[in-house]
């Protein structure tokens, strides 16, 4: 990041906001609303990465979807401003990862940053790996790593382990939609996979369990999230590029609209008067709507603008759930 007094590079066609403008900070605090498809770098926590973005945009109003381990990289959707209100509606979206596993050893953290705790001689052959992939398609049960942020007794499992406590994490059910091997270099005891899975899937646990099925041990050498629902790796922006855009109009252009990842929710178009009632917390029966027992996107039919999320009950009663501020 540029030091005080230096000027970060500008992209073509960008202009800089004059730092002497009294409303410079207010501009970013009030106007930035949307989603940043961020490419989280290796070696930092998701929260630390978000803090970097927060500082660049000059706002405290941020949140992210789907924690990535410090050693992992890739798609980390960051909600800015009003977008934070809608994190809950996309948290369960499907995720896609590419990871490389090292066979023949395991670590206490199940990844490359841990200490090796066990080794074995058996390295599965490429054919054996391909045949065992099918056993992990569909709903499976997995036990998350003890080095994880899952809370046990109100405290993070990883923190308890570091204090020397014995931690037992109950198994959970997750869904694997697709699991395939992309390439193998078994002379180096490694293979690279692509997996499409549900929220809550731990790739480190998947690598451990897959190796066990193959009569071996494994830990994750590298992990990159390539998709998180609406957000794809091809749309990400790096920390370095974002820093170059700091204090320019270009920084605003990298934000996707608040409603972008909500397209799978049916739209309900209403007049401004009804939208005002929802913003005031009122409920009313939704006329001319086929929606029942579902969430709906509230759209201003005159302005064709997204205004929030509501819920239509079985009897047609519409109530507000999360509404955008009326600017």
The pLDDT tens digits for 23-51 are 444 444 456 899 999 999 999 999 999 99
CATH 3.30.2350.10 for domain 95-228: yes
CATH 3.30.2350.10 in the chain is located at 24-90+231-253, 95-228
Superfamily of domain 265-323: PUA domain (2.30.130.10)
Please tell me which residue in 39, 69, 247, 274 is annotated as part of the active site.
69
Mean pLDDT of the region 90-113:
96
What pTM value is reported for the model? 0.86
What does DSSP assign to residue 60?
S
Q: What is the CATH number of domain 24-90+231-253?
A: 3.30.2350.10
* 39 catalytically annotated: no
The model's pLDDT over 267-309, given as tens digits with 9 standing for 90+, comes to: 999 999 999 999 999 999 987 667 778 999 999 999 999 999 9
Residue 213: its H or E element:
helix 203-213
Place of tokens 């996309």: 90
The Cα 148–Cα 227 span in angstroms is 21
The Cα 248–Cα 259 span in angstroms is 24
């Amino acid at each position: 990041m540029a030091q005080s007094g230096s000027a970060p590079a500008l992209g073509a066609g960008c202009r800089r906001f004059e730092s002497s403008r009294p409303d410079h900070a207010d501009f970013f605090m009030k106007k930035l609303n949307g989603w940043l498809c961020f490419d989280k770098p290796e070696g930092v926590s998701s929260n630390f990465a978000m803090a970097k973005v927060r500082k660049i945009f000059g706002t405290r109003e941020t949140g992210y979807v789907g924690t990535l381990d410090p050693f992992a990289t890739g798609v980390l959707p960051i909600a800015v401003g009003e977008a934070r209100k809608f994190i809950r509606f996309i948290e369960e979206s499907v995720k896609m990862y590419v990871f490389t596993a090292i066979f023949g050893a395991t670590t206490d953290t199940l990844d490359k940053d841990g200490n090796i705790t066990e080794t074995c001689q058996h390295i599965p052959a490429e054919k054996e790996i391909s045949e065992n992939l099918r056993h992990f398609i569909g709903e499976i049960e997995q036990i998350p790593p003890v080095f994880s942020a899952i809370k046990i007794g109100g405290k993070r499992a990883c923190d308890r382990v570091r204090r020397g406590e014995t931690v037992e994490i109950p198994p959970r059910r997750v869904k694997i939609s697709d699991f395939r091997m992309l390439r193998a270099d078994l002379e180096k005891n490694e293979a690279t996979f692509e997996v499409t899975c549900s929220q809550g899937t731990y790739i480190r646990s998947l690598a451990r369990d897959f190796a066990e099925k193959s009569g071996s041990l494994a830990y994750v050498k590298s992990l990159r999230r390539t998709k998180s629902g609406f957000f794809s790796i091809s749309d990400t922006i790096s920390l370095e590029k974002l820093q170059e855009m700091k204090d320019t109009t270009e920084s605003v252009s990298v934000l996707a609209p608040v409603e972008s990842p909500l397209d799978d929710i049916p739209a309900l178009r209403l007049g401004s008067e009804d939208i005002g009632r929802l913003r005031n917390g009122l409920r009313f029966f939704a006329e001319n709507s086929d929606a029942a027992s579902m969430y709906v996107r509230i759209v201003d039919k005159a302005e064709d603008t997204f205004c929030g999320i509501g819920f239509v009950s079985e009897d047609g009663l519409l109530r507000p759930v999360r509404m955008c501020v009326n600017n």
